[in-house]
Each structure stands twice: as structure tokens, then as C-alpha cells.
Amino acid sequence: MKIQILKEIIQKKSSKEKFAVLTNLINGNSEIFEFGKFLSKDFESSKKEIENYHYLKKNGVIDGTQIFIQNYIKPIEVIIVGAVHICQYLVDLFKNLDFEVKIIDPRKYFITTERFPNIEIINGWPEEILKKLQTNSNNALITLTHDPKIDDPALRHALKNKFFYIGALGSKKTHIKRCERLKEAGFSEKEIDSIHGPIGIKLGGKSAPEIALSIVAQLVSETHKL
């Protein structure tokens, strides 16, 4: 593999870009693949197969070819608003998944490294913090506080920036009131309906770890729709 390609791989990985490395197993030539990018003669005849493997996030030798594909997928960035008890179980589950996690909470007594070791925790109001973060459709938002002063600004930010997953903890009654506030704030029914509320898939569990599991399961399901 040429040094220039190695340098490009390192750069793209550090900037968390989504791409793949293709290798022609016959002559050893390699190049970087991204959707819409021109392919050299070593790979152009298998463009459809390459795109399909990249879309499905599959690694290995592409069927019917002598092309090896290694995919580098952008990690999903999860922003959790509310460092409550359930949040600790969420973090434990996320540790074994390819998610990057940030926790935001303006209540300093909840934000401690003892409760959340090796996790980025930010003490501040979501409305202020989210403006400073680089967020996009590759982000997921989970709100847990039940407090409109804390949760609502985060939900508005996620809707405006088209997060691929938005979930809010709370009862059906709480969610109805939440939706009314968002409608008053100018969001359409389609945008509001994109919020998973009450959050999580229906597992029937009531305890904090069971609720956390239902949230993670829903988020993983939505991730595979990307």
C-alpha cells in the first residue's frame, strides 16, 4: 500500500469520516472509496458490488471478485441529557458498542467522574453547550430529566439539526405536553413524531437497567437503518 494512501486513511480516521479501503488481490493496488468518488480501472467494473458492501458495512472479499474491502464507519455520537440513575446503566451498555457518548447536565451534583468514569461529562445547560458542539445527522439524543427547562432546548436543537435518533424519557402524558410545547415552538407534526417518546422499545421492564436496555435496543435498531 502506498504511503500517500496510508496518510489519507489516518487523516480520514482522525476526522471520523465514513470511507472504505479497496485492495485488488491480483496486483495489490489499493485506493480509498467513498460514495460518488471516481474509481480506477482496478475497481470500476465492480462499482455496484463495492457500493453494496459499503452500504451494508460488510468487510472481506467481495463475492465474484478479487477485491478486498475494509470499511471505516463513522461512530455514532450519543448525547445524553441528564446524568440520572438510568444514565449509568446506559453508559455501561454503550461501553460494549461502537458509540461515542457525551453527558450534559446543568446540575453539578449529578456530574461526577466517580459515577461516570472514562466518559465525557459536561456541566452546563444544553441550550448553551449544544451550540458549541459540532452536531449533525450522525448524532443521537437521549433526554432523561423530565424537566422542560433542561430537555426541551436539547430536543429543539436535535430536531433542527436532524439527529437520526431522538428519544425522550417520560410517561405518555408527559410526552403529550412535550409535543404541545414543541408545536408551539414552530415544529411540524412530522418533526415532532420523529421523537421516540416514551423512549425505548416495549420490553415490559420497569427497573432502571431494564429501561436502559430498552433504550439501547431501540437506538441500535435505528442505527442499522442508516
Query: Mind listing the domains of the chain with CATH numbers?
Result: 3-72 (no CATH), 76-223 (3.40.50.720)
Length of the chain (residues): 226
- Residues 166 and 159 sit within 8 Å (Cβ to Cβ): yes
Q: Which secondary structure element, helix H or strand E, spans residue 104, and what is its range?
A: strand 99-105
Distance, in Å, from the CA atom of 12 to the CA atom of 15, rounded to the nearest integer, reads 5
Model confidence band, residue 226 (pLDDT cutoffs 50, 70, 90): low
- The mean pLDDT value for 69-74 works out to 86
**pLDDT tens, position by position, 81-108:** 999 999 999 999 998 887 899 999 999 9
| Chain Cα centroid distance, residue 157 | 15
Scan for cell 436543537, then name that residue: 157
Question: Does 16 score more than 80 pLDDT?
Answer: no
